[in-house]
Amino acid sequence: MTTTTDPLASRMRPFGTTIFAEMSALAVSTGAVNLGQGFPDTDGPPEMLAAAAEALRGGQNQYPPGPGIPALREAVAAHQRRFWGLDYDPGSEVLITAGATEAIAATILALCETGDEVICFEPYYDSYAASIALAGAVRRPVTLRPGSDGRYAFDPDELRAAFGPRTRLVLLNTPHNPTGKVFTADELALIATLCQEHDVCAVTDEVYEHLVFTDADAPHVPLATLPGMRERTLRISSAGKTFSCTGWKVGWVSGPAPLVSAVLRVKQFLTFVNAAPLQPAVAVALGLPDRYFTEFRDGMQSRRDQLLAGLTDAGFTVLPPEGTYFVTADVTALGGRDGIEFCRSLPARCGVVAVPTQVFYDDVEAGRRLVRFAFCKRPEVLAQAVDRLRRLTA
Ligand code: PMP
Ligand code: GLN
């Protein structure tokens, strides 16, 4: 290798530094309020934190079993039974991973041959494209576009046309980051029908499963609960969002034993195992009473309402989310023509960081003027951000 050639393998060259890292660094260097990267600024449930401290002091610091500690696998299975009526055998149908990110990567690497196609809805979470590329697979995006009612939807014909002889997986994220969309029963039914017609597996990223707001048109429905789907779906979630511990990176994947076992085959060579003392703590959190999950959602909904009102007042055209941590907005009314330019200049203009969502599209035009704000922040932080954003039109 000569020093003049790029040492990076060609399949990774299209991927620069993630937008989240870029924008968080910008927030630090400018002292701006960071509504870019989605992480809460408060800690998760005290019972969970106490259990982690106890495990750490109590010697649970060596390699846990490959699929995860039994207590956590049992808690993951019980949680899915309690909230979604889904039954998974903790012994063979649940695998603990280093966050949802590793679960997604290991799943794609495990199931895709070179040249296989993965259908995903754009804007897509950034790690999807990179994981698909690492597997030598090809992404087939289907675009979510805001309609006149402000809701993002896809064209069913575009989805039908995306299926072909090389389709291996459909990767579905609902509730959806960055749009805050919750896929409706009709949309899920179409996805399920097409998966079965084409004998394709589904991979569902449900990290925001507990963040669907009370005024959403549709409740959250795991695709695996639809007829004929459990046996072809790998369902992924993580502790990061539900328990406000994004730095812990404890996730899981559930599905039929042969599929989960394929994912484990890859996971064992990516990280082998992860987060020994955090695993028992997440097991405690998953077993918290329903009240925890309701209050968590209600708290986030009031923050959403606060930011929606503030952004509207500051002149943004907002696209109200039904779930997640995020709201997207069109910057055209504020004179913005390009979300990347808008977000790069925002800290200097008014001391706030947001994320341009065009980086999550192959069809850049579709997201050109859209930006995303995270509202998983304390009310006083949101109030300060809104005060600053008002300066844009003052
Ligand atoms: N998928 C989506 C849609 C996300 O927003 C995130 C960020 N939490 C992840 C996956 C990654 O989750 P984790 O931090 O558990 O790896
Ligand atoms: N999921 C978080 C978001 O969308 C950030 C994750 C990351 O920084 N990779 O903001």
Last residue of a domain, one of 237, 264, 286: 286
Regarding the beta carbon of 350 and ligand 1, being less than 6 Å apart is answered no
Strands 33-34, 233-238: pairing is unpaired
Is the beta carbon of 99 within 6 A of some atom in ligand 2? no
Rounded Cα distance between 44 and 301, Å, is: 17
Task: Give me the pLDDT at residue 393, please.
Answer: 86
The structure tokens 């309701």 sit at 294
Same domain for 241 and 161, yes or no, is: yes
Q: How far apart are CA 206 and CA 223, in angstroms?
A: 10
Same domain assignment for residues 263 and 299: no
Based on the domain organization, do 295 and 282 belong to the same domain? no
25 lines ligand 2 (CB under 6 A): no
In a domain, 312, yes or no: yes
Tell whether ligand 2 has an atom less than 6 A from the beta carbon of residue 84.
no
The total number of residues written for the chain in this structure:
394
Does 293 contact ligand 1 (Cβ within 6 A)? Answer: no
Position 1 scores a pLDDT of: 54
Atom number, ligand 1, closest to the C-alpha of residue 125: 3
Residue 4 domain-assigned?
Answer: no
End-to-end alpha carbon distance in the chain: 55
CATH code of the domain covering residue 306 = 3.90.1150.10
SS3 102: helix
Q: 176 and 60, same structural domain?
A: yes
Are residues 83 and 164 located together in one domain of the fold? yes
Whether residues 153 and 219 share a domain: the answer is yes
Q: Which ligand lies nearest to the CA atom of residue 173 in the structure?
A: 1
Domain shared by 102 and 235, yes or no? yes
Cβ–ligand 1 distance for 125 under 6 Å, the answer yes
Q: How far is CA 218 from the centre of its chain?
A: 19
CATH number, residue 232: 3.40.640.10
**Ligand lying closest to the C-alpha of residue 241:** 1
Q: Is 80 in the pocket of ligand 1 (CB under 6 A)?
A: no
Asked whether the bond before 175 is cis by omega within 30 degrees of 0, the reply is yes
Residues 62 and 81 both lie in one domain: yes
- 326 touches 375 (CB < 8 A): yes
Closest by Cα among 134, 130, 206, 218 to 172: 206
Domain boundary among 271, 286, 301: 286
Mutate to test the pocket of ligand 1, among 241, 278, 326, 360 (most ligand atoms within 8 A of CB): 241
Cβ of residue 38 lying under 6 Å from some atom of ligand 2 = yes
Nearest ligand atom owner, CA of 177: 1
Question: Is 75 in the same domain as 219?
Answer: yes
Q: What would the pLDDT profile of 229-256 be if each residue is shown by its tens digit?
A: 999 999 999 999 999 999 999 999 999 9
DSSP 49-96: HHHHHHHHHTT--SPPPTT--HHHHHHHHHHHHHHH-----TTTSEEE
pLDDT at position 380, please? Answer: 98
Domain boundary among 286, 313, 344: 286
pLDDT of amino acid 370: 97
2 located within any domain: no
Residue 3 placed within a domain: no
What are the residue ranges in the chain where pLDDT is below 70?
1-3
Segment 115-132, tens digit of pLDDT: 999 999 999 999 999 999
241 and 386 inside one domain: no
The pLDDT score that the predictor gives to residue 5 is: 83
For 165, list phi and psi in degrees, rounded to 5: -65, -25
**From the CA of 242, which ligand is nearest?**
1
What is the extent of the structural domain holding 371?
10-37+291-393
* DSSP-derived 3-state class of residue 378: coil
Q: Residue 8: its pLDDT value, please?
A: 94
219 falls within a domain: yes
**Count of domains forming the chain:** 2
pLDDT for 302 equals 98
| Residue 45 Cα to chain centre, angstroms | 21
Residue 343, domain member (yes or no): yes
- Per-residue pLDDT, 2: 57
Whole-number pLDDT of residue 16: 86
Whether 14 and 110 share a structural domain? no
